[in-house]
Structure 1
Amino acid sequence: MRRADRLFQIVQLIRGRRLSTAEFLSQRLEVSARTVYRDIAALQQQGVPIEGEAGVGYRMRAGFDLPPLMFSKDEAQALVAALRLAQGQLDSVLARQAEEAMSKILAVLPAPARAAAESLAVFAPLTGLDEAMRERLARLREATENRHKLRLDYLDLAGTASQRTVRPLACYFWGPSWTLAGWCEVRGDFRNFRVDRIQSLQVLDERFRDEPGKTLADMRRAFEQSDTPSTDRA
């Protein structure tokens, strides 16, 4: 990869995330961390408002933007493939919005790239989730985005019923099933709940804020360090 292309990719990666470490960037770009440090220093000298430091991470200062980008044929095909594979596993709102977003992208592509994307011979069935599951996923996603606590009636793998109050942090798709990951106030720890084992759910009026030790980043670190399969932790 040419250095100019690598610098452009660094900007794209940093602006697309809240915080990007040099290790993450070096893995994505297949270069050393030292090279990443040099490239970021060069970008900063050129006036690109990258904030942060080595050992902590980098982010783009609010308000920075680049001119609109045009997708290549291969990139457009990748987007179409991703949408077709995911659409059957998304809640109805996200699935519809994804399709509308793809229509907007295809509408502004050059004719050859659009034709290549639309003729891509990669398909997936759209019958992955029933309507009840789609509706439940939509409620879980909205509660997560709006920071509302949930009350769940849950049936675990052993068939034991319990009621939990949960701070929802993320929804994970594992192939055959979805899980809700969050901070369980009953257990005082992070837990993953199989969405198909949730017997009933109530979105509470009570909201929550990030607290040290109870955030999504904390949960991901805890699951990475645990020997227990995260999909079975409830």
Structure 2
Amino acid sequence: MPKTDRLFRLLHLIRGLRPPVTAAQLAATMEVSERTIYRDIDSLRAAGARIEGEAGLGYTMTEDLALPPQTFTQIELEALTLGLADVNQRGDADLAQAANDALVKILATLPERLQWQAMHAVNLVHRFNTPEKPTIDMTLLRESMWAEEALDIGYRDLNGAQTQRRIYPLALSYHDQNVMLLAWCCKRENFRIFHVTRIDGYCRTGENFRPRRVTLLRDFIKLLHARGGATETGPS
């Protein structure tokens, strides 16, 4: 791992782990030697991070110059923690980890009083039923949408028929029991909604459909509102 990436990772761990965090904990998590941890902490301190502590006692972040201070009202903190907790329960593994990491960064920017409020929020999330976990790599699917790149997918429709088609992936829609992919189907030249769990596989094509995504997604959402909601658009 390049040193710059390692320093960012170390900074994130010191923010997120319960203080004081020892060099042994950090070394085990990052799979490096404790000597490397000591050198990297010296580098972070030299860059302006206020990290209190020393070898044998553990370390605590007292002032994080890498992040600007933030101020939220208590209800805003409740909304943030509630939303991120819901993502943690409903999202795939990478999305759930991203929610946890985002909360750590938010907490690191708060004064101690607001950190306490956020960590003891009164609104909690528990879902007895969560969407079925997809078998495809959701991170790569999101990356193709960010890049506005067409995909070739294999898909099983509601009747079990297997099809191959090229799509322009537009957005993911999280429902109570399903995650749906909103897309433009090049085969049918129309909008389609696909159950993510019925996508058997996909490959990126290198075909870029920028700048059509914004317009297509806006038109699709208008169509969905006119229909009264998003459901799978059939086997065709």
Alignment correspondent of 1:180:
181
Alignment correspondent of 2:196:
195
Report whether the alignment pairs 1:95 with 2:126.
Answer: no
Amino acid at match of 1:124: H
Q: Look up the SS of the partner of 2:207 in the other structure.
A: strand
Native 8 Å contact 1:150 1:166 kept in 2: yes
What's the TM-score, normalizing by structure 2?
A: 0.62
Alignment correspondent of 2:138:
137
Q: Look up the SS of the partner of 2:167 in the other structure.
A: strand
Alignment correspondent of 1:230:
230
CA distance in 1, matches of 2:214, 2:131: 33
Native 8 Å contact 1:88 1:129 kept in 2: no
Deviations along 1:144-198, one digit per CA (max 9) or x if unpaired, are 1111111111111122221111000001101211011010011110000000111
What's the TM-score, normalizing by structure 1?
A: 0.62
Percent of counterpart pairs with the same letter? 29
CA distance in 2, matches of 1:110, 1:223: 43
Q: Look up the SS of the partner of 2:90 in the other structure.
A: coil
Larger radius of gyration: 2
CA-atom RMSD in angstroms = 2.7
Alignment correspondent of 1:124:
126
CA distance in 1, matches of 2:129, 2:174: 16
1:213/1:109 CA distance change after superposition, 3 Å:
closer
CA distance in 2, matches of 1:127, 1:142: 27
Worse-superposed segment, 90-99 or 208-217: 208-217
Worse-superposed segment, 90-99 or 168-177: 90-99
Amino acid at match of 1:72: T
Native 8 Å contact 1:88 1:127 kept in 2: no
Native 8 Å contact 2:87 2:95 kept in 1: no
Q: Look up the SS of the partner of 2:182 in the other structure.
A: strand
Amino acid at match of 1:232: E
1:68/1:106 CA distance change after superposition, 3 Å:
closer
The Cα shift of 1:213 comes to 9.8
Deviations along 1:52-88, one digit per CA (max 9) or x if unpaired, are xxxxxxxxxxxxxxx9651112211221111111112
Aligned length: 166
Native 8 Å contact 1:167 1:182 kept in 2: yes
Question: Please, which runs of 5 or more residues in structure 1 have no aligned partner?
Answer: 1-66
Native 8 Å contact 2:179 2:195 kept in 1: yes
CA distance in 1, matches of 2:203, 2:94: 19
The Cα shift of 1:137 comes to 1.9
